[in-house]
Amino acid sequence: MLNNKTVLITGGTGSFGQRFIATILTRYKDVKKIIIYSRDELKQSLIQKNYPRAQYPQLRFFIGDVRDRDRLVQACEGVDVIIHAAAMKQVDTAEYNPSECIRTNVDGAENVIYAALHCHVKDVIALSTDKACAPISLYGATKLTSDKLFAAANNIRGTKDIRFSIVRYGNVMGSRGSVIPFFIEQRETGILPITHKDMTRFNISLQAGVDLVMFAIKHHLGGEIFVPKISSYKILDMAAAIAPECDIKIVGIRPGEKLHEEMITASDSIQTIDIGEYYAILPSVSYMYSTDDYIEHHHATRVALGFSYNSEENSQYETITSLRELIVQHVDADFQVL
């Protein structure tokens, strides 16, 4: 799929980008070029140390911001596939700096679309978030706007052979700022701060997120939002899995934070299909394909009208034991309960 192709990853120095790079190099030995596009020169230099030029001549490192359209166009020359992972992601930071969040998440999305069309890229996959589903925070609202921009970009491609799609998933195990490394660090204090005792979250590994993107590259028609079928966990179960000896301190839900994660609302059900391992939310306006075209292409079925997908009502839940096993497998191989 990616052999003899050039791939560009915006925000390529983040957790996702680093795992995506490693996956490409493992699965596609003949990949032509991997371009890591980000504004973080320190992280780029650290990645370069892990992939010496002599051994990995296919890697390229571009300093640039998705806000800079001209630089994006330069970086996208000759590119076949774009993975758009760059975003301003901290909910509270976005609330305090709304204009900056809009410039990165909305204007940046438009710039990626422009560069992809201008440079005749073939496939574009944008990373979304559960917070774009019925958003209550600015971050979620900007990501919903980004999703809409990428879905609608298929309607302005004209005769160009290009497809734009989106993948949406929730918190990634062990990613920066996520609850697992935070709880592991906090357990030395003897107290775990919990926002709300009833809180639930979806659970996905970094590799599963990468695999979802790989699936989208291979199978998308354009305009779909791909959503993985994954398990949930209760925040109190996660606390018990990591630090059963700690006291719990309820600190309250933070601004812009939800009690439960949502990825598909009941209002989305009319446009949602079940494609087996994943769901796909179809574009509300498409001049290229009908719903029946998507169903036939993906060998899919429609979900029931009123169907919704959220972490509270999910039929699959992790247990305290399974959470510990997943932490060892995906986050910290040396993890053990103190």
Backbone angles phi, psi at 101, to 5 degrees: -65, -45
How far apart are alpha carbons 35 and 77 in whole angstroms? Answer: 11
Q: Which DSSP string corresponds to 226-239?
A: EEE--EEEEHHHHH
Cite the active site residues: 131
What is the three-class DSSP state of 324? helix
Q: What letter would DSSP give residue 253?
A: P
What is the three-class DSSP state of 199? coil
Helix (H) or strand (E) holding 132: none
How far apart are alpha carbons 139 and 120 in whole angstroms? Answer: 30
How far apart are alpha carbons 294 and 220 in whole angstroms? Answer: 9
Reading the block at residue 90, the tokens are 């901290």
Q: What letter would DSSP give residue 141?
A: H
Enumerate the β-bridge partners of residue 191.
247
Query: For residue 198, how far is the Cα from the chain centroid?
Result: 25
Helix and strand numbers (H, E) in the chain are 12, 16
One-letter amino acid for residue 314 of the chain? N
